[in-house]
């Protein structure tokens, strides 16, 4: 393989890249979102500057991808934190766990999604929408919401999913010092909300050293939503360079 051909490749292995070089469209992407109040000191320890938060809130989410271009169906779960960057309100992606290798690698390499392996599930059972996250054989989180109890305003649901999103992008150097360490921003703009509901909810988090969701403990459940959408993820833009500021 000529050097010029290598330079045109976007991912490795060179002859069978871990992800396809296409922009993924998600069809029938289903969300369970549970917003809860947590310990402000615990939250302060994980939200990176220059992001700030006004209230100690966290959103536990489970997303079931009904279909996605190149990745196929899969499920994803994690924690999202409402924050401010200057005067702009948005959310910080703290951690994400999913059951699809290509989507994990692509999310980390193309963008800055903090993705790692896990086994989330989203399903209806006995009148409840149930979202779970396992790591190996160990349960890490269980969230439940009354199934389609109350219709939710579609514009409100759209606003919930289209906030600016912040992540930390790290590209390590060969001596373990980072070559890139940036705060980046993205925002979903190409979205169709098909249906949305709200209702009562509960959330349990369980201690796991490699999936420390419970380090942000559940003190009070604030709200919950169940949303079905079609959407396309946008690219990322750097907004803060940690290497220049240190």
Q: Which of 145, 138, 133, 53 is nearest to 95 (CA)?
A: 133
245 with 238: CB under 8 angstroms? no
3-state secondary structure 79-117: EEEEEEECCEEEEEEEEEEECCHHHHHHHHHHCCCCEEE
Residues in the chain: 246
What letter does residue 229 receive in the DSSP assignment?
E
Show the CA angle centred on residue 144, arms to residues 165 and 118, nearest 5°. 60
Q: How many whole angstroms separate alpha carbon 208 and alpha carbon 185?
A: 29
- List 115, 148, 169, 194, catalytic entry: 115
The contacts of residue 78 (CB under 8 Å, 6+ apart) are 60, 61, 93, 94, 95, 96, 97, 114
* 115 noted as active-site residue: yes
Query: Can you say whether the dihedral through the CA atoms of 86, 91, 96, 100 is positive or negative?
Result: negative
Q: How many whole angstroms separate alpha carbon 200 and alpha carbon 145?
A: 6
Q: How many whole angstroms separate alpha carbon 26 and alpha carbon 192?
A: 10
220 with 38: CB under 8 angstroms? no
Q: How many whole angstroms separate alpha carbon 54 and alpha carbon 59?
A: 14
Catalogue the active-site residues. 115
């Amino acid at each position: 393989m000529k050097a010029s051909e290598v330079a045109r490749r976007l991912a490795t292995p060179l002859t069978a890249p871990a992800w396809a070089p296409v922009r993924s469209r998600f069809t029938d992407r289903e969300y369970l979102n549970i917003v809860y109040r947590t310990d402000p000191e615990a939250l302060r320890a994980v939200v990176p500057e220059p992001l700030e938060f006004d209230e100690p809130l966290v959103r536990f989410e489970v997303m079931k991808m009904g279909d996605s271009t190149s990745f196929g169906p899969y499920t994803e779960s994690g924690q999202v934190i409402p924050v401010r960057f200057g005067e702009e309100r948005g959310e910080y992606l703290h951690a994400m766990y999913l059951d699809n290798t290509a989507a994990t690698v692509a999310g980390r390499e193309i963008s800055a999604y903090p993705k790692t392996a896990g086994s989330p599930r989203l399903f209806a059972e006995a009148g409840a929408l149930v979202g779970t996250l396992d790591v190996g054989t160990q349960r890490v989180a269980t969230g439940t919401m009354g199934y389609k109890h109350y219709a939710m305003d579609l514009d409100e649901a759209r606003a919930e999913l289209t906030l600016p999103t912040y992540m930390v992008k790290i590209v390590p150097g060969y001596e373990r010092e980072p070559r890139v360490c940036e705060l980046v921003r993205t925002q979903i703009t190409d979205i169709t909300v098909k249906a949305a509901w709200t209702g009562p909810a509960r959330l349990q988090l369980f201690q796991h050293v490699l999936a420390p969701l419970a380090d942000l403990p559940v003190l009070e459940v604030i709200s919950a939503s169940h949303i079905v959408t079609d959407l396309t993820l946008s690219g990322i833009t750097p907004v803060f360079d940690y290497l220049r500021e240190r």
